[in-house]
Structure 1
Amino acid sequence: MYTERRYGYWTTINWSRRGFFFGVFTSLVALGCYFVVGAKCFFVPWQPVLLVGTALAFYLGFKNNASYDRLWEARKIWGAIINNSRSFAAMVLGFVTNLHAPDSVSEKELHAIKRRLIFRHLAWLTCLRYQLRTPRKWEHTEETERFNKYFPNLKTPELHVKMDEVLQEFLSAEEMADLEGKSNKATQVLTAQTLDLQHLRERGLLDDFRHMELQKFVSMMYDEQGKSERIKNFPFPRQYATVPLLLIKFMSFLLPFALIEDFEKVGPNFVWMIIPFNGIVTWVFILMEMIGDYSENPFEGTYNDVPISNISRTIEIDLKEMLREAKIPEPLQPVDGMLM
């Protein structure tokens, strides 16, 4: 997530400069036809160009709206995870008591149980964010190299720190071993949470009502995980993602042939002006297409993602402070205006 007020002009141009260069290339193709074959053979009336441009503008508007919906839905999902995490921790702290237990346990053991439940929740959060950062074929995996080049100080935590190293703080060695080889570790952690809550109910440390309320929040976590996985694992339909770029390239080839006649009327040397004009028009359309394209996958770990690393750290800080832990991690800070 970019945290400054707006992207810099040079950053925007540098990010999308290939669109301008493609427009220059198609202009040179048109000029080659103009000078080599002859002028009159390659004039194109404005009407078809306007029709293609208008259709393309509507199409890009639709695509960008749909892409933004995916991005905003992802942010709402993780907003719900924040709220549910705080509520779950508060309930654990208030509900796990000796009130209905036939055999009371010490306050130290009660605190250890509460800590285990809350830390397991943080383990689930860790597994989920690592799973969401796993690259998919349709994501911008090629951006990693460019990302490291232009933002060398910015590191996506999930891509540079192994998940097991993080989980060691939250799970016992036995639970860590149980996760080995599991394809969906986040699901297994929630399953362990459910079994632990049932065990506490059997010991009388939770009554029926409190057990059901806590289990309801575990079910909510399953829901939010499933929603996140739906966005992650089901790409923006490829037909909608592919056609706009093809239309832009088609229009970029067509537009110079419509511009030639108008610039020729100004003067023979002005024909060369189609190069910057077509480059700028092509760049504008490709820039709009790229904005939608980079909003489709809100968990891939690049510039415009939902900052799930930062959200997870915020939840970790809140829950550890609720537990009165001595060691509280520092909030993640933006690096070069980026917050992951």
Structure 2
Amino acid sequence: MYTKKVFKIKDLAKWTRHETFLFIAIITVVVVLYFFLELEWLKIPWTPLALIGTAVAFVIGFQNNSAYGRIWEARKIWGGITNTSRTFGMFVQDMVNNEYATESFSKEELQKEIKTLTYRHIAWITALRHAMRVSKPWETVVLEKTNKEWSKMVSPPEWKSTVEEDMKPYLCKEDLDYVMSKNNKQTAMLYLQSHHLKNLKEKGVVWEFSFLELEGILQELFTLQGQSERIKNFPYPRQFATLNHYFMWIFVLLLPLAIVPQFAEIGKEISASHSIIGSLFIWLSIPFYVIVAWIFHTMEKIGRTGENPFEGSANDVPISTMARGIEIDLRQNLGEALEDIPKQFPVIYDTQM
């Protein structure tokens, strides 16, 4: 999915509110220990903590760059699928004809062949988008509490229907049974397309040069499908994602033991001239700690949400909308009435699915 609206601070705060409350609780406990129990020995020096923070910042930056790269690559792949699909629809309509046919087909028969090829392509992209939405063991972002809340309001259409239901209007029973018997349904669909084109070439309905052009389009679709499957089936390396998550929490949990003593020392210096302000100055460490911890945690969380661009979160590539857009284009170019063509998936809370 893709959020069109600018991500506002209040939305970001709501998205991370559970962790923010946790940060407030952590720092409050440490401040209470210092203020009421006078545990001044409970501290660590800034130097090792600064080294840890620097390392965590570098790894978070690397993770975010890599996650953005995966999202951008996925967007380019599906942009290629969109363009290649339109090209395929155009080629099929122009290259399936009687010019070199050994036995002339009627206009209705030619149109039936064109429609079959076009509909099978729509079924292919339907199978592909469903395959991209299948949950993988490493796709855990949508299981987080705030993302679960979001999924109740906005979720991909593939979660509400089966691939068989969505492909059924576009395939004959024989093709549907064949495809459903295969593990990789989108690959089986392209095999059927190639076999169909070969039969039309043998009948002369598709010229040999046109056949090569159409096979080239199928080859490009195989390439794009494989690239999309590669992103789906190969996760962001766990040694980076998981360890970085732990490193971030180590830094966040150790930070109060350095920041609170620092504020306590400043408070003692202020007490010489302003006793009340100096004695209470330690409590200012709470908002400062929450800000620092929130920034580190939120940056790490943003990286995690971008690791799997087909998972079904609000930051995903809107493959459902793109696939439906291709379907609408192809069916309109077949001359079908607008009322017979499915509507585009709705934009909910300014989010495309």
TM-score normalised to structure 1 length: 0.94
| Structure 1 residue matching 2:206: 3-state secondary structure | coil
State the partner residue of 1:337: 350
State the partner residue of 2:273: none
Amino acid at match of 1:337: D
Gap change, CA 1:145 and 1:322, over 3 Å in 2? farther
The alpha-carbon deviation at position 150 of structure 1 amounts to 4.0
State the partner residue of 2:43: 43
Worse-matched range after superposition: 304-313 or 37-46 = 37-46
Say if 2:16 and 2:146, in contact at 8 Å, map to a contact too.
no
Amino acid at match of 1:334: V
The alpha-carbon deviation at position 24 of structure 1 amounts to 2.6
Give a deviation string over 1:119-158, Cα, whole Å, max 9, x none. 1000000000001000011113644875564465534110
- Kindly, what percent of the aligned residue pairs are identical? 39
Gap change, CA 1:243 and 1:184, over 3 Å in 2? same
The alpha-carbon deviation at position 305 of structure 1 amounts to 0.4
| Structure 2 residue matching 1:6: 3-state secondary structure | coil
State the partner residue of 1:324: 335
State the partner residue of 2:68: 68
Are 2:297 and 1:286 aligned?
A: yes
Amino acid at match of 1:69: G
Q: Partners in 2 of 1:125 and 1:53 — Cα distance?
A: 45
State the partner residue of 2:173: 173
The alpha-carbon deviation at position 254 of structure 1 amounts to 1.9
Give the unaligned 5+ runs of structure 2. 268-277
Say if 1:30 and 1:253, in contact at 8 Å, map to a contact too.
no
Say if 1:22 and 1:279, in contact at 8 Å, map to a contact too.
no
Amino acid at match of 2:299: M
| Structure 2 residue matching 1:300: 3-state secondary structure | coil
Give the unaligned 5+ runs of structure 1. none
The alpha-carbon deviation at position 168 of structure 1 amounts to 1.3
| Structure 1 residue matching 2:183: 3-state secondary structure | coil
| Structure 1 residue matching 2:170: 3-state secondary structure | coil
Worse-matched range after superposition: 238-247 or 115-124 = 238-247
Q: How many residues in Structure 1 have an aligned counterpart in Structure 2?
A: 340
Amino acid at match of 2:253: F
Say if 2:248 and 2:297, in contact at 8 Å, map to a contact too.
yes
| Structure 2 residue matching 1:42: 3-state secondary structure | coil
Say if 2:346 and 2:352, in contact at 8 Å, map to a contact too.
yes
Are 2:311 and 1:300 aligned?
A: yes
Q: Partners in 1 of 2:153 and 2:263 — Cα distance?
A: 47
The alpha-carbon deviation at position 29 of structure 1 amounts to 4.8
Amino acid at match of 1:8: K
Are 2:11 and 1:11 aligned?
A: yes
Amino acid at match of 2:238: R
State the partner residue of 1:260: 260
The alpha-carbon deviation at position 35 of structure 1 amounts to 5.8
The alpha-carbon deviation at position 71 of structure 1 amounts to 0.4
Q: Partners in 2 of 1:246 and 1:330 — Cα distance?
A: 45
Q: Partners in 2 of 1:145 and 1:207 — Cα distance?
A: 57
Say if 2:67 and 2:307, in contact at 8 Å, map to a contact too.
yes
The alpha-carbon deviation at position 111 of structure 1 amounts to 0.5
Say if 1:17 and 1:283, in contact at 8 Å, map to a contact too.
no
The alpha-carbon deviation at position 99 of structure 1 amounts to 0.7
Q: Partners in 2 of 1:2 and 1:121 — Cα distance?
A: 25
Q: Partners in 2 of 1:78 and 1:142 — Cα distance?
A: 22
Amino acid at match of 1:91: F
Are 2:84 and 1:84 aligned?
A: yes
CA RMSD of aligned residues (A): 2.0
The alpha-carbon deviation at position 321 of structure 1 amounts to 1.2
Amino acid at match of 1:75: R
Say if 1:84 and 1:217, in contact at 8 Å, map to a contact too.
yes
Say if 2:15 and 2:146, in contact at 8 Å, map to a contact too.
no
TM-score normalised to structure 2 length: 0.90
| Structure 2 residue matching 1:168: 3-state secondary structure | helix
Amino acid at match of 2:70: R
Amino acid at match of 2:8: G
Give a deviation string over 1:149-188, Cα, whole Å, max 9, x none. 4465534110001221211111001111112331111110
Say if 1:44 and 1:258, in contact at 8 Å, map to a contact too.
yes
State the partner residue of 1:314: 325
Say if 1:295 and 1:304, in contact at 8 Å, map to a contact too.
yes
Give a deviation string over 1:74-102, Cα, whole Å, max 9, x none. 00000000000000110000111111111
State the partner residue of 1:101: 101
Say if 2:4 and 2:352, in contact at 8 Å, map to a contact too.
no
State the partner residue of 1:23: 23
